[in-house]
Amino acid sequence: MTDNIIIGGNLAGIAFAETALLNNKSFIVIADESQNSSLVAAGIYNPVILKRFSLPQDAQEHLAYMKPFYKRIEERLGVNFDIKIPIYRRFASVEEQNMWFEAADKPKLSPFLDTNIKHDNFNGIDAPYGYGRVKDTGYVNTNILIPAYQARLKEEGILREETFQYDQLEIHKYYITYKDIIAKHIIFAEGFGIHQNPYFKNLPLDGTKGELLIIHAPQLQLPVGVNAGVFILPIGNGLYKVGATYEWDDKTAIPTAAGRAELVEKLNEVINCPYEVVNHLAGVRPTVKDRRAMIGTHPQHKNVHLLNGLGTRGVMLAPYMAKELFESIETGVPVKREINLNRFKVF
């Protein structure tokens, strides 16, 4: 018997697997390639919502927990995927400068907003009003993390690369079985794939399609990430990720001409040097209307659990949400209401 079956091998599933490992619990991961949002995402972690100059609830705690969590994985796997890089907010006006200073005066935001306006002269970008620097920022390169983590699980014989078949799951009072596996618990961490899940498909996980471009712009030479209506994130060798769009109706992971046109238009408003679009990606983020994670235990099945709804801030949320869910499973104490799946009366 194993302690846990984890369905999903991307960011949420990896976070729970790592949490189980840290607590000496056994697990088997079952994953296919049906969901790609973790791989498509820019993976930026930034404690501040720059559009509104606000701090999400518990962001400081999530950030503090995230850093050593990813560091342990890097050291164990011998890879480097947590890239520390400053994020600059490009000001479009004096009014935006003033809004920045007002936000920086707030006790919760002051640790993260540098009050010294930056006037760095980056080639290819005009910024007459300067930049504001956000502290404690960077990005998780999920295209390094996810393949490396899955490869290690495969080496250890605890990754099954297959599509989970819900009709093969049998739930008993104290254990569950799936094909030849007997386990104490099953954790669904399948992102937008929740809509195929008979136990949780009625939960209001809407999903938001996001598209981004990878451009080659050797003259840009940006050493920082820039937020200016779109984000521009350097990823090395003259390449930059540019994103992202937000589309609520289209739930496919297919890049669109409209998404590309939107990103190109916004990018052209920011940079004035030549570039080439070398890739165009799309994925569906697992988002919830109230912008909170959706985790917890099925009300009728005490050994069936959910880790989902990490949305646009997945790299920051995943480690802490996995910890919250793991502790709830082990103690039997429900996760707090604001992130508990049972805040939605659908069962």
DSSP collapsed to 3 states, the chain: CEEEEEECCCHHHHHHHHHHHHCCCCEEEEECCCCCHHHHCCCEECCCECCCCECCCCHHHHHHHHHHHHHHHHHHHCCCCEEECCEEEECCCHHHHHHHHHHHCCCCCCCCECCCCECCCCCCECCCCCEEEECCCEEECHHHHHHHHHHHHHHCCCEEECCCCHHHEEECCCCEEECCEEEEEEEECCHHHHHHCCCCCCCCECCEEEEEEEEECCCCCCCCEEECCCEEEEEECCEEEEECCCECCCCCCCCCHHHHHHHHHHHHCCECCCCEEEEEEEEEECCECCCCCEEEECCCCCCEEEEECCHHHHHHHHHHHHHHHHHHHHHCCCCCHHHEHHHCCCC
Give the pLDDT confidence score for residue 37 in this predicted structure.
80
- Tens of pLDDT, residue by residue over 72-125, are 999 999 999 999 999 999 999 999 999 999 999 999 999 999 999 999 999 999
Which pLDDT tens digit goes with each residue over 250-285? 999 999 999 999 999 999 999 999 999 999 999 999
Q: How confident is the model at residue 347 (pLDDT cuts 50, 70, 90)?
A: confident
Q: What is the mean pLDDT of the chain?
A: 95
Query: What CATH number does domain 86-136+208-285 carry, 3.30.9.10, 3.40.47.10, 2.30.110.10, 3.40.50.300?
Result: 3.30.9.10
The residue with greater pLDDT, 34 or 48, is 48
Report the pLDDT value the prediction gives residue 35, as an integer from 0 to 100: 81
CATH architecture of 2-46+142-204+289-343: 3-Layer(bba) Sandwich (3.50)
Domains 2-46+142-204+289-343 and 86-136+208-285 fall in the same CATH topology: no
Q: At residue 38, does pLDDT exceed 90?
A: no
pLDDT at residue 36 tops 80: no
Q: Could you check whether the bond before residue 244 is cis, i.e. omega within 30 degrees of 0?
A: yes
Res. 346 pLDDT band, cuts 50 70 90: confident
> Domain-by-domain residue ranges, the chain?
2-46+142-204+289-343, 86-136+208-285
> What's the pLDDT at 345?
85
Q: What is the pTM of this model?
A: 0.95
Per-residue model confidence as pLDDT tens digits over 154-193: 999 999 999 999 999 999 999 999 999 999 999 999 999 9
Q: Say how far apart CA 148 and CA 268 lie, in whole Å.
A: 35
> pLDDT confidence of 310, banded at 50, 70, 90?
very high
